[in-house]
Structures are given as C-alpha cells and as structure tokens.
Structure 1
Amino acid sequence: GKIPPAQVFIAGAGVAGLAAIGTAAGLGAIVRANDTRAEVADQVKSLGGEFVKVDYDEEGSGGGGYAKVMSEGFQAAQREMYAKQAKDSDIIITTALIPGKPAPKLITADMVKSMKPGSVIVDLAAEQGGNCELTVPGEAVVRHGVTIVGYTDLHSRLAKESSTLYATNLLRLTEELWKAKDGQIVVNMDADAIRGFT
C-alpha cells in the first residue's frame, strides 16, 4: 500500500512560514501557503510550495517587510479561501503577526470543525493571542478532533536540537574562515555564509 502525502497549509510566509514550507516540502508533503504580501509568492514556490492567492486586490505590505492590517473586504475573501484550505489540510501552521498588534484571527472555530479528525494546527502566533480562535496560549488542546498546539516556548522545548544546530553552524563557519589559510583568518565576502553573518 501507499500512504498519500500530507496536505499542509501555511498561513503567513515570513521567516517562520518559509522555514515551515521548506521543511514540509522536504518531507514530501503537498504544501500550500498564503501571505498578504504577494511579493513572497516566488519564495514560496522556490521552497516547493504553492502560493494560494486571495481573490481580492489589495496591497498587503506594511513597514519593515511585515504585513499590514487588511480591509474587511480582503479579510472576508481570505476567510473564504482559508475555509476551503482547512477542509483539505492535515496540518495547518500559522505564523501571521502584525507588529504592535494582537495576532490576527485567521482560523475560525467553524474551520477547525471542518477539518479531518486527527488533523493538527500549530499556532506559532500563540504568544500574541494566536491565529486560531481556539488556541490556548501555552497549551496543546484537542477541539473537534483537531489538536491545536499553542505552545509559547517551542524553542525551549527543543533546546538540545537548537544547541546542536547552533554549534554545528559555528563549527562550519570557523572551518570556512580558516580553510587552507595557514592559520590566518580570511573573511571572504563572496561566500554566502560569511556575508550572511556580517
């Protein structure tokens, strides 16, 4: 027998959303993502996801590369599209934040009810109130057969893995700086890794 790939929907394609897209696609999932900022569509596609556009014409970029608060018309069209995505998704990961404001409520209780039993919502905006109406900040709860993860300390829950990844990155960076340099540190600004940390 064959197991069909998981259907994953990512709400918000900032740094966390893009990381989730890349990870889910890398594990073989069918990934769809949405963001109010249309300019991230190419980034979503480059990571193996499909950008799902809201059928409403409004610019969503705010200051500093973040999203802005959208009009009621846009929000209604977005809710309609999210409702369709929720029915088909095994996993929803929400990452949408607006600086200085509570997290926008993107996933309604009715959307959660429409999801398949055993589905999971990971609300990365839980600390700011959550993108899902049923998120309980700091807890994982089951509502209508759907597990809603609202942990506000995910980085602490993966301390060992985070430390290992950080240490590995520092080792690779050090090796790059000293590579065949007779003990001399040479900063090569043409190397992506070197340029990225400066």
Structure 2
Amino acid sequence: MTAVTVGILRERAPGERRVAATPETVRKLVARGAQVCIEPGAGVGAGFVDDAYLQAGATTADAASIVRDADALLAVQAPADDVLAALKPGTTVVGLLAPQASESRQAVIRDRGLQAFPLERLPRTTRAQAMDVLSSQAGMAGYKAVLIAATLAPRFFPMLTTAAGTIRPAKVLIIGAGVAGLQAVATAKRLGAQVEGFDVRPETREQIESLGGKFLDLGVSAAGEGGYARALTDEERAEQQKRLGAHLGSVDVVVCTAAVPGRPAPKIVTSSMVAGMKPGSVIVDLAAESGGNCEATVPGETIDANGVTVAGPLGLASMGAVHASEMYARNVLNFVSLFLDGGALSFDWSDELLAKTVWPERAVEAAPAAA
C-alpha cells in the first residue's frame, strides 16, 4: 500500500510568515507512516530552512506537484480557490479555512468533494485543548499587541524613580479576557504597568487577578456558551458604555481583544469614548481583523484620532512566527493524529472532534426503524 502524502505549501497571504508544519512535526508525521512533501521556502519566514525539513524526513517539490499529489494538505490560512480546485477529489485540507468568509471557497470545497477541516470549528473541550489553534495563536497576538502599545505610548510603562523625580506607571486597560486578553494582562504587568482587565463574563475576574491585574467591574454580566460571551441586550450595552466611557478618561493605554470566531467583533469603544480620552493615550485593537472593538479603528493602519493614537494591526500572530508556528504545527499534528496512522487516513465519524470540525457538516445517519 502506498503511504499517504501530506503536503505543505508556502503561505501566500500578504504578511503571513507562519508555516503549518515544522521539522519537529514533520518527523512525527513521518513516524506515523506519511510521506511529507514541502514546498521550498515554506518555513523560511518562521526560521525553518529547507535542509531542516529534509533531515526530518520530508521531500521538497514545487507547488503544482504537491497540489497534484497530496492526499492531505496542511495550511495556516485558506489556500487560494485555484489551489483548492486543483486538488484531487476527496483530498483532506486542514487549517484556518474560514469557509463562511468566501462563497467561492465554499463552492470549490463542495464541487471538488474536499474533506475540509476548518480548525476554528474545533469544539472547545478539554480533549481538544492540545489541538486548539485559536488559543495558541491568540496568546502570541495578545503578547504582540501590548508590545505595540508600549512602543506607541509616549510614556514609560513601569514606575521609575529618577533624579528628575518619580515617573508614575502607565495605566493599562485590557478589554476582553480570553486567551489573548489574559496574555495581554500578563505582558503589561511584566512591563511594569498598572493593569486592569474587563470582561462581561464574571468568571474571568479570578483569572485577571491571578495575573496581577485588577478586575474592572462595569456591572454587566453576560456569560455565554463555549466559553464566549453572549450578545448584550440594549440596556446592558448602554450601561456598559456609560460606565466604560467615564472610566476611559483616566486610562493611558487600551488594548482591545474581544472577538468571537466567525462573527464581527463587538463594538465596545465608541468614537465619543475615544474623544473623551486624554491626548497621548493609545488604543491597540487586536480585533481589527474582524472589524475592531473600537469605532475609530482602521484595520491595518495606525491613525491619530484628535490626539489619541488608534492602531489596528493585522496578522499579530505572524509577527511572532517562530513560536506561533511551533505551537500551530503541534496543534495540527495532534489533530491530524486523530485520522492518520500506519501511513493511511481513516476517519472515525463517531469522534466529535472530527464530526464537529469537518465542513460541510456531514449528514446525520438516521437510526434504523424498529422491527
């Protein structure tokens, strides 16, 4: 029996430096019986040279050959539609594929009969933690967002005692206490700032405080399903905005991290709130890729909003491509290990991690009628 061929292409999205497999994970894929073929230069942006992949047991080939021969294709972002259309019917594709973001991508996946696994659909369960690419990449994004804020802020983050007097620490507010937000709290605290964290889910108070931050209570509680917040009612939103707007006048730096995969980011910081902030204040909107938490955010740009610097950086995880790729590749390896063994692909559709991640969703087979 011919071993299954796993292909890895160089990512082609603008600014994307991550790679879906590292020499470490290639070695483990080969140990599971796969033939791994990688496009030359695929890992260079993340610091992984071709020779390291060859030593791990991979081969190299041009993109067209990989697309033609792959039984499974591993990716960070969704391959272009023409790449998907050139894959063999039934090819397995694993990555942050976001089919809901493109009708043409949906059509190609359906028409070619591809077995697509958009990893953003992975259930948020204890067993899935080792495969959770959203969490691993959000950690890097939260870290980088605070470093960007520290660079843009016209002030020190820590308290300093100097011959010229004492410099008070910067007051930093982190909005959203998911993985990115908690990493942002921890990073700002390490830099010496006075840190507050806000989230509408009351259970995050303990997490924020465990990292040295102070929980900002705005009197709104909106815990939802799957670890995410539910949508606020009009009354809750009005109360949140009233209290948050009053508080932002005393804050030096805001880092926004509130996002739910597959949905537009909630607007939390209004233009009037920005106008009420002190000149020299900074907002870094990590949620810019899904529209932003701040009404003044321009995705991909840093603007001056009447003396307040508002940054909407894109591709934050890719800015830390080495560690982001290492984490992502391990997540992907753990997921692929659910159906790759002995050089063959075998899918157990009773496994909820496969059944709930695959797209299009598989039809549920009806139970046989009673005699």
* Residue in structure 2 matching 1:44, options 208, 217, 220: 208
Q: 2 CA distance for matches of 1:15 and 1:155?
A: 13
Root-mean-square deviation (Å): 2.0
Change (3 A) 1:55 1:163: closer
Q: Does 1:101 align with 2:263?
A: yes
Specify the structure having the higher radius of gyration (Cα): 2
AA partner of residue 132 (structure 1): C
In structure 2, the residue corresponding to 1:2 is in which secondary structure? strand
CA–CA separation in structure 2 for the residues paired with 1:164 and 1:99:
18
Give the deviation of 1:64 after TM superposition.
1.0
Describe the superposition over 1:41-86 as per-residue Cα deviations: whole angstroms up to 9, x where unpaired: 0000000111111224x4x122210111011111111101211221
When normalised by structure 2's length, the TM-score is: 0.42
**Contact 2:302 2:312 (8 Å CA) reproduced:** yes
* CA distance in structure 2 between the partners assigned to 1:155 and 1:118 by the alignment: 26
Contact kept, 8 Å, 1:135 with 1:148, in 2: the verdict is yes
Q: TM-score, normalised by structure 1?
A: 0.77
Relative to structure 2, which stretch is displaced further, 37-46 or 78-87?
78-87
Structure 2 gaps of 5+ residues are: 1-164, 331-371
Residue from 286, 303, 306 that aligns with 1:124? 286
- 2:283 maps to amino acid: I
Q: CA deviation at 1:166?
A: 4.8
Q: Which residue of 1 aligns with 2:304?
A: 142
2:200 match: secondary structure:
coil
**Match 1:69 to one of 223, 231, 239:** 231
Aligned residues: 164
Q: 1:25 aligns with which of 185, 189, 199?
A: 189
1:84 aligns with 2:246: yes
Q: CA deviation at 1:165?
A: 9.7
Q: Does 1:14 align with 2:178?
A: yes
> Percent identity of the aligned residues?
48
1:157 and 2:319 aligned: yes
Deviation at 1:40, TM superposition (A): 0.7
Tell me the amino acid that sits aligned with residue 28 of structure 1: G
Q: Given residue 147 of structure 1, which amino acid in structure 2 is its aligned partner?
A: T
* Greater alpha carbon shift after TM alignment, 146-155 vs 13-22: 146-155
Q: Report if the CA contact (8 A) 1:69-1:98 is conserved.
A: no
Listed as ranges, the gaps of 5+ residues in structure 1 are: 171-198
